[in-house]
Structure 1
């Protein structure tokens, strides 16, 4: 006969494993979590040196970003990817790597995603959270809403 304390430890261990599994399975970094149609809503931040003009940046507002299970299309350019995963970087590290204004206001639960998207364009990272997506385009951090 098992001692009640031992049984409680087994239940706690099982509950802990179940919680970890649920958190892992609900991770927003799954490719299907970012798949769909997005519209660029606004410019959120920019690096000190950017590859596009203010007029070109303004022209991106309202632009469509399409993410399928294997490719990303934006501005008549496409890249193919095979993986999307949570990045070990936190949000402030991401902003520092891209030399973006660290005062950019992003939701607390924003996730940094990394991917291997190559082709006409290259995308290595995206941010996602609260049904929004952020990507760096020629040094400009753009915010997109799902449409």
Structure 2
């Protein structure tokens, strides 16, 4: 099953869940107790927050994929790091790559390509939080760049 189909299926399931939660919130709003009405409002806010999070994640994923395609089109080779017998990336190789990518970003902090590749290096090193932060910087830099 393709990634797009999985996302579509998960979005359908999430929409059904949000509809169910919305129904329960509307039901609580129809009650006569003030406490239940307040709870109904709170329950109705949850799907709105969920929708905001899902849209933000889908936009992040789409922007990341767009930048990855652009790097591929420019002929930038992917990182091909050695792996252990278990399939994990060799830690020493990931650390070496990270140092190289960090130096590239320090040399050209406005270039989104460096930030994208730094995000990949963070990901290879297992630091997902910093990888996402670096990728957000890459997306912002690409948006600000006249050449994209």
Shorter-chain TM-score: what band?
0.3 to 0.5
Higher relative contact order (CA 8 A, sep 6+): 1
* Structure with the larger strand share: 1
TM-score (norm 2): 0.34
Larger Rg: 2
TM-score (norm 1): 0.34
